[in-house]
Chain A
Amino acid sequence: MKQSLGVRIWRWTIITVVGAYLIVPLYAMFDFSTKPFGFEDKGRTLRAWKIIPGQPDLMAAISRSLITAAIVMALILFLIVPTAIWVHLKLPALRRPFELLCLLPLAIPAIVIVVGIAPLYRWISINLTESPITLAGVYSMLILPYTYRSLSAALDAVDIHTLAEAARTLGADTGRVIFGIIMPTIKTGIVNGSFIAIALVLGEYTISNILNYKTFQVVIAQIGRTNGNVAVAVSLASILFVLALLLAIPTKKRRSAVLDVDLA
């Protein structure tokens, strides 16, 4: 009984400390965003929150960032995931080089990447389009280390070779094997990798700012230069928005065995 009480105390201590670590900064942001910032304000005010919708470029920036995130998601699903499966299934000798290649963006500072790709984006802006959505290309490169690791772990946890061979003997072609059998089997890995990718795309600032694209984070930084309270309110709103977005994506489907396999 004593031991059980000790374990419970220890557990609640950890939960409290971690909870405080996560919630205190958010509370501090909320506290700051409700402080008076005009001569007419007295006590607490929600003025910073109320003027968010009126901020120039903000809604367009949110929409751009979301579209970019959606394109990155599509690239993950239709390019990165099938490629990773293909390498695991058919080209095991290339696994190491492929893994190394995917980890490179982690080792190269963002500023180096942006200097390298700036001429390319200059050419894209002049000859194709000025849309910031083209950033999806460079973002899908930046997310590779996180997405690939997540996919690789999921692929290693399941005997995909036998599943693929079983599907082939039953009449499945390569497309059906990848999209109909392997992808649903490693669903948890794909969802986990996508979470990280979405969070990274919605939070990226350096590259979009240097390339002069007005994405969500760039616009928040601009607002912050003129009004700190509004910038903090927008930041907090964006955090809550992304959190809601991630929670909205179904992660658990208890009836599926896939999750059990992947989580094991």
Chain B
Amino acid sequence: MSSSTYVQLVDLAKHFGKVRALDGLSLDIAQGELVALLGPSGCGKTTALRALAGLQELDRGQLIVDGKDVTFQNANKRGMGMVFQAYSLFPHMTARENVEYGLKLKAHKTASDKRKARSAELLELVGLSTHANHYPHQLSGGQQQRVALARALAISPKVLLLDEPLSALDAKVRTQLREEIRRIQLELGTTTLFVTHDQEEALSIADRVGVMRNGQLEQIAAPAELYDRPKTSFVAEFVGLTNPISGKVSGGSIEVLGSIVKTLPGSVTTGTGIALVRPESIDVVASKSGNATVFAASFLGASCRLTINMNDGTHVTAQLPSSEAAGIGAGSTVAVSLLDMPVFVKAAG
């Protein structure tokens, strides 16, 4: 345990019948850090979050928050603020009353005027001060989740737990709100655990992202490191796009698309392997004597995605800055090679 570790999940295990939702999950979170747990459905990320909230009993393991063992503490005594995927505002209370609810229940009841001041401050923080007297049915989905966030923050939680809070919202509101969540989290310095299946969401706001699979943590790292230096083929393939390209591995390098690039730790070390190449790692240059033909080009704004048919019959997807893709379109003959960036190589077959 490092000196700054604030939350520790130690060897958590939980079975639902024959399904292993958590299978020895361990995770440390530093104070003020935002950690995102990312993974496919059923990987155990929500179970881990619910266990930390006290809403899910564990078969095995230990939960330590701020140096105290909270494994067997009731959810209502843990002081965790939680925002749920489903809209969870109390429908018979206004936005302000929802935010004040947790303060009313605190052991040393917060005085009424302090409560009002705190709820006003938090509604201001989430940009809903003009909606304080609105009932949940009078608010949009995004506004409801903002109030839910203010309600969770009102009790000054030890840890803020976000269980896919943006999943039910439309794309534009989702992007806007996730940026607001990050801004507020940084402003208040609240230690936060964020669960999502949306990798863009996780990579864009977390200090560290943990990728989960079958109840275990595959890898936890800063977003850029996770993307550029995956430790397993699952992480490489789950986070971002990859082109599986076969090549010969030897001496810590692999030869693919006529280029020799270094392999990442954990890769296959000898023989034939499948390199998991990021679309951005592929260099494409217009050339009449090239080794490939562009099948389709998609303009994405700042970048351009090309679907390329190699002369040997394989296909790759490349992504390059729009400025570099000028003049390349469907039917163009191009020369394809790899940029000098290490790749993860998994066993063939």
Contacts and interface: CB of A to CB of B under 8 A. Distances in A.
A141 B26 CA distance: 52
Nearest to B83: A166
A181 B101 CA distance: 10
B105 A163 contact: no
A95 B145 CA distance: 31
Contacts, number: 79
B268 interface: no
Interface in B10-45: none
A163 B90 contact: yes
Q: Is the interface of A mostly helix, strand, loop or mixed?
A: helix
Q: Which of A159, A166, A167, A185 has the most CB of B within 10 A?
A: A166
A162 B76 contact: no
Q: Which of B75, B91, B101, B161 has the most CB of A within 10 A?
A: B91
B50 to A, nearest CB: 8
B137 A261 contact: yes
B308 interface: no
Contact of A162 (B81, B86, B102, B136): B86
Query: How big is the B interface, by class?
Result: 20 to 34
Nearest to A166: B88
Interface residues of A, number: 24
Nearest to B86: A162
Contact of A171 (B55, B88, B102): B102
B60 interface: no
A257 interface: yes
Contacts of A171: 76-77, 79, 102, 105-106, 155
A168 B90 contact: no
Interface string A50-70: 000000000000000000000
B137 A165 contact: no
Interface string A144-159: 0000000000000011
Contact of A169 (B76, B90, B136, B138): B76
Given A169-B80, A185-B90, 12 more contacts: A159-B86, A163-B88, A166-B84, A166-B151, A169-B78, A170-B151, A170-B152, A181-B90, A256-B92, A257-B91, A257-B92, A258-B92
